Amino acid sequence: MKINISEGKQESARLAAQCGAGYIRRAIEEKGEATIIVATGASQFEMLEALVAESGIDWSQVTGFHLDEYVGIPIDHPASFRGYLWQRFVSQLPLPLRGFHFLSGEENPLAECQRAGALIQEREVDVAFIGIGENGHIAFNDPPADFETTNPYLVVDLDDACRQQQLGEGWFPTFADVPKQAISMSVNQIMKSAAIVCTVPDERKAEAVANSLQGTVTPAVPASVMQKHADCHLYLDQPAASKLSS
Q: What is the pLDDT of residue 215?
A: 94
Longest CA span, the chain: 48
pLDDT digits (tens, 9 = 90+) for 80-93: 999 999 999 999 99
pLDDT digits (tens, 9 = 90+) for 137-164: 999 999 999 999 999 999 999 999 999 9
pLDDT digits (tens, 9 = 90+) for 197-238: 999 999 999 999 999 999 999 999 999 999 999 999 999 999
Q: Is the dihedral of CA 215, 157, 230, 93 positive or negative?
A: negative
From the list 53, 79, 69, the residue with the least C-alpha distance to 103 is: 69
Yes or no: say if 214 and 245 are a contact pair by the CB < 8 Å rule. yes
**Which domains, and CATH codes, for the chain?**
2-237 (3.40.50.1360)
Side-chain half-sphere of 100: how many Cα atoms within 13 Å?
A: 20
Q: What is the pLDDT of residue 246?
A: 72
Q: What is the pTM of this model?
A: 0.96
pLDDT digits (tens, 9 = 90+) for 91-132: 999 999 999 999 999 999 999 999 999 999 999 999 999 999
Nearest-5° Cα angle at 205, 201 to 208 = 130
